[in-house]
Structure 1
Amino acid sequence: MFQVEKCICLVLLFTSTSVYVKGYKVKSISKTVFQWAHSPYWDAGSQTLYFADINGGTVSSYQPSTKKLNTAKVDIENNGTCSVIIPIKGQKNKYAVGVNNCVANITWDGTSSSTSKPSIIVELNQNKTIRTHTGKADPMGRMWIGTVGPFRENSQGQEQPDYYKAGNEYMITASGKAVVKIADVSIPDGLAWNADKTKMYFVDCYEKKIVVYDYDNGSGDISNMKVVFDTKANNIDGYPAGLTIDTEGKLWVAQFFNGTVLRIDPESGKLLKTIEIPAKEATSVAFGGEKLDVLYVTSARIFQHVLPPTKYSGRVFAVTGLKSAGNPVTGYPGQPILAI
């Protein structure tokens, strides 16, 4: 699927679960290893981190106050994929999820080892080889979710023709209708909205670009796309993946196959900071914690045939001590689904 490029070398001080580097601390939240942890979501009300394991078909919850990590298998047909979990506002133990090629809801108490069988809301594509990849709720509480084609390679490790531009980015309306917002995307990934609710940032992972759209919060319409940052043009190895935004309006982007998180100024297009993670397959990011100053980073260990994993690959990390102009960097909690 991906072309492996040269990798940066990390000079880190390791303990059993922590890494200290350049003034900040990277700590594994547990020793649990996931296949493809993705789509972290911070629920401020319960002080809980949620995330999915795409290939594992599971959802997880983690409460920093107790350091308790709970993982549940989602009852998916044919042991399929689960790409995202977002709480549904006002409905206790109800979550919107991406399963296989569908958006569904599940019931889960947050601690049990299994969830209810998903109740399908909408099928995004009749092609069963297409699956959901990641998603978020916009400022109005509408779900946005992307789809990707099969990650298939031939014996030489070359991508198959049916993969390229097989996906779309959808917005799910309150009535459960899926509307294509960005068509023909190979790997739709990170999403974030600015505080003014006038801009939407989007990552096209395969094209190695972070773009911005003008965004209408009432309708969800997007327009006037322009490139904010091109990792290839900036000679940064790997692929931009999951994305979040801080209260200064700066973007934080997990760099897949590079083991880093980038802080980018979307106005100037400048790289401001690089955070090193002890797992090359960094997948996504979200701010959390009581003061929203902890950056949670998910990772994977799925491309071991081209990128040998470390013992930290597939773990979820908490990054603390991040500062800007001497002050702690803070972000925003997750937006729940308001209607679906």
Structure 2
Amino acid sequence: MPDIKKYKITEPYLDLQGGLLEAPFWEKDRNTLRFVDIVKQKLHFVNPSTGPSSHKQWDLDFSVGTTADVQGNDAEFIFGGKRGYGIMKRETGESRWVKDMWSDEERKEDGGGKPGVGKTREVRMRSNDGAVDAAGRYWVGAMNDPVVVEGNITDEGVLFRLDLDLSLHRMKAPVTIPNGTSWTLDNKFMYFTDSPSGEITKYPFELSTGAVDWSKGTTFFKCTYEGGVPDGHAQDEEGCFWVALYGTGKVVRVNVEGEVVAEIELPTRCVTCPGFVGTELFITTAEEGSPEKYPWSVKYQGGLFKVDVGVRGCPLNRFKMEAKA
């Protein structure tokens, strides 16, 4: 068992009291960190060099769960939003939808589906986490929208893949809460998290086609911290993963053998996703769901945190959009 390096964060970098902060993404060329608040429907930006005073936010008309840069297009970025994939202008927040996730049939009333809530599948679903693979495809998971289904989350979720020609593919279903997605440094395996399973699973992956052998999944990491599940994660240049353990107030570094080798302690419990800016790890969190049970977690709930971990993150892939949108 390797020695575990310890880090402790005592206060937030930005005390935002957010609803569900997620998806920290470093715009390296601009040295800007962007991240979202899914519940409060906001998009946030901050310049790590300038500090918290540079923070700005946009109010949106819909939820966004994940964002990615577009190769050759510095004026816009792509996102996974409430109803599908969209493109947003960096300077104005103006957006347009480029691919709906749901079919005409899924836009018809269905009695609430498995949750028994929400007139149509489209209404009761939303995008969650996502990532771009080395070939430039954008993988985004969709799940029941807790705001719509009143917390009654089922396995109606789907992991989608948007290809360069804007064709959409349903890659894995059913899933419940699709989260951290990434690939080994040699792109021979894909890691995928369905949070309620408590595990990150590793699957054989074919980069040239985007195919995943779901029948040969093996457990890469299992959360052993009481009350916790793996949420989002970020990969460093050494191939290790920094995994947010929702419900524990911790982010752990996991080596390629799936062993915990470092642990970051935060002053709030609902940790959602880490993202690298150089050697600094920025960490998003959510509102405390059980404030009476965990009063210690409330003060800095929904904040953005940071810590220098002494290793750089892997460069983030850009979506390679070859079709006009």
What TM-score does the superposition give when structure 1 sets the normalisation length? Answer: 0.80
The 3-state SS of whatever aligns with 2:124 is coil
Is the CA contact 1:192–1:201 (under 8 Å) kept in the aligned structure 2?
yes
**Equivalent position amino acid for 1:119 in 2:** R
Q: What per-residue deviation string (whole Å, max 9, x for no partner) do you get for residues 261-282 of structure 1?
A: 0111242x32222211112110
**In structure 2, how many angstroms separate the alpha carbons of the residues matched to 1:83 and 1:61?**
15
- Of 130, 139, 142, which aligns to 1:135? 130
Q: 2:117 — aligned with what?
A: none
CA distance in structure 1 between the partners assigned to 2:71 and 2:181 by the alignment = 20
Among 82, 88, 92, which residue is 1:106 paired with? 88
In 2 relative to 1, CA 27–192 (structure 1 residues): closer, same or farther, beyond 3 Å? Answer: farther
> Partners of 2:58 and 2:38 in 1: how far apart?
13
* Inter-CA distance 72–152: structure 2 relative to 1 (3 Å threshold): closer
Aligned sequence identity (%): 23
2:209 aligns with: 219
1:56/1:82 contact within 8 Å kept: no
The alpha carbon displacement at 1:41 in A equals: 1.0
CA contact (8 A) 2:232 2:272 kept: yes
Distance in 2 between residues matched to 1:27 and 1:333, nearest whole Å: 28
TM-score, normalised on structure 2? 0.83
Q: CA 1:225–1:23 in structure 2 vs 1: closer, same or farther (change >3 Å)?
A: closer
Alignment of 1:85-234 (within 5 A): 85-109=67-91, 115-116=93-94, 118-125=95-102, 126=106, 127=121, 128-151=123-146, 160=152, 163-223=153-213, 224-231=216-223, 234=224
Structure 1, residues 171-200: CA drift from partner, whole Å, max 9, x if none? 101222221112111000011222212221
Partner SS for 2:29: coil
Shift of 1:301: 0.5
Q: Distance in 2 between matches of 1:220 and 1:133?
A: 20
Structure 1 position 92, deviation (Å) = 2.8
SS at 2:217's partner residue?
A: strand
Cα offset for 1:147?
Answer: 0.5
Matches within 5 A, 1:46-65: 46-65=30-49
Task: Give the total of aligned pairs.
Answer: 294
Distance 1:236 1:273, change over 3 A: farther
CA deviation profile, 1:279-323 (whole Å, cap 9, x unmatched): 2110001111xxx21111101106246654422111111111x2x
| Equivalent position of 2:302 in the other structure | 314
With over 3 angstroms needed to count, the CA separation of the structure-2 counterparts of 1:176 and 1:94, relative to structure 1, is same
Q: Which runs of 5+ in 1 are unaligned?
A: 1-20, 323-327
In structure 2, C-alpha distance between the alignment counterparts of 1:121 and 1:153, rounded to whole Å: 24
Q: CA RMSD in A?
A: 2.3
Distance 1:310 1:220 in 2: 42
Given that residues 26 and 318 in structure 1 are in contact (C-alpha distance below 8 angstroms), is that contact kept between their aligned partners in structure 2? Answer: no
Counterpart CA distance in 2 for 1:27 and 1:167 is 34
Q: How does 1:229-240 map to 2 (within 5 A)?
A: 229-231=221-223, 234-240=224-230
Structure (1/2) with the larger helix percentage? 2
Report deviation, 1:26.
6.1
